[in-house]
Structure 1
Amino acid sequence: MITKAKKGEMLQSLREKLQRSEAVFVTTFKGIKVSEVNEVRKLVREKGGEYRVFKNTLIRLGTEETSFKPVVDFVEGPTALVFSYKDPVEIAKALKEFIKTHPTLEIKGLVMQGKGYDAKVIDEFVKLPPKEVLLAQVLGTIQAPVSNFVGLLSAILRNFLYVLKAIEEKKGKGEA
């Protein structure tokens, strides 16, 4: 039996993990082997996350008064949480890839920025490019009008210089 002190430590640990997380995936692990759990843990750790099993009551208590409160909507049966400390898209891709060969692991939902999403949304989420690529695309979109404007100004100056050069050549031929 777990003591109250140990439960308090586990609750504190869960809350710390939630504070550090960008997103939390809720999974079920019914029928999964210990070796497979270790494989998932390693895979998630490599992508900047953490795979942990918590009691459902502890999850309910730990998510109260946090932006991860919607996690409770997906908690039923044996539940494990995957904390995403870096890029949630990479972890989602890793989990989906793992599930292809180990269907006993199932993603029930995802909570990100205070909103819960069911497993169907995660399929679309996986299609997103990594965070760095998205940021580069946004930067390119922001930068494009300025770049086009600079190109336009330089073209006007270049054309003006061509006109001056042509006038100079014309005058040079007329005087010679």
Structure 2
Amino acid sequence: MPSEKILSQKKETVAELTSKLKNAAAGVVVDYKGITVANDTKLRKELREAGVDYAVVKNTMLRFAAKEVGYEALNDVLEGTTALAISDGDQIAAAKILTKYAEDSKGKFVVKAGFVDGGVIDAAKVAELGKLPNREGLLSMLCSALQGNIRGLAVALNAVAEKNGEGAPAAE
């Protein structure tokens, strides 16, 4: 039987994880086995710059926290080495960075699953999410689409005005 001190530390860890999961916009669970210290340092720096909290977690602790939040579907992937990346603001930041890194690592670093919008998603959905452009890219695409429609309308109105202007005599 664990001592009271150790038990209270574990409960505190689970409570902290639960709080992070509840407040997160999105998260990704990965298997980090085979990653070198240098690559891990680079990855952590990139995640930190994107505002993503990344930490190695114990599967048991994450199971308890996931149960509290309603992410029991994560339990299926909580085996082996596990790290958790949580983003409070950007829903695709963690998925984008970790998916790219997993592709570059050739099987040594594996995305297990993730969660977004209150639901658990599998590794394939995380990969799809990671391929989406970031917020600025999406806004740029939207502006471009809107600008194209307005430009088309302006050209059409100009063509109608020119056509009407050619056939009518000048009233002076």
Indicate whether the TM-score tops 0.5. yes
For structure 1, list consecutive stretches of 5 or more residues without a partner in the other structure: none
Per-residue CA deviation, residues 56-97 of structure 1 (Å, 9 max, x unaligned), is: 111111112425443223211221111122334333232233
Aligned residue pairs total 168
1:120 paired residue number: 124
2:85 corresponds to: 82
Residue 140 (structure 1) shift:
6.1
The aligned amino acid for 2:133 is P
**What is aligned with 2:98?**
95
TM-score (norm. length: structure 2): 0.73
Residue number in structure 1 paired with 2:30: 27
Q: Percent identity over the alignment? A: 28
Alignment of 1:36 onto 2:49 = no
Q: Which runs of 5+ in 2 are unaligned?
A: none
Higher gyration radius (CA): 1
The residue aligned with 1:46 is: 49
TM superposition score normalised by structure 1:
0.72
Taking only aligned residues, the RMSD between alpha carbons, in angstroms, comes to 3.4
Tell me by how many angstroms 1:125 deviates: 2.5
Indicate the residue corresponding to 2:67 in structure 1. 64
Could you say if the C-alpha distance between residues 14 and 136 of structure 1 is closer, same or farther in structure 2, counting changes exceeding 3 Å? same
Letter in 1 for 2:86: F
Pick from 4, 9, 12 the counterpart of residue 7 of structure 2: 4
How many angstroms apart in 1 are the aligned matches of 2:92 and 2:125?
Answer: 12
- Report the Cα distance in structure 1 between the residues aligned to 2:33 and 2:110, rounded to whole angstroms: 9
Q: Aligned partner of 1:79: which letter?
A: T
Is residue 17 of structure 1 aligned with residue 20 of structure 2?
yes
Residue 144 of structure 1: CA displacement?
A: 7.3
Q: Which has the larger displacement, 103-112 or 130-139?
A: 130-139
Partners of 2:87 and 2:21 lie apart in 1 by 9
Over 3 Å counting, the alpha-carbon distance change for 1:149 and 1:112 in structure 2 is: same
Q: Which stretch shows the higher mean deviation, 113-122 or 12-21?
A: 113-122
Distance 1:30 1:152, change over 3 A: closer
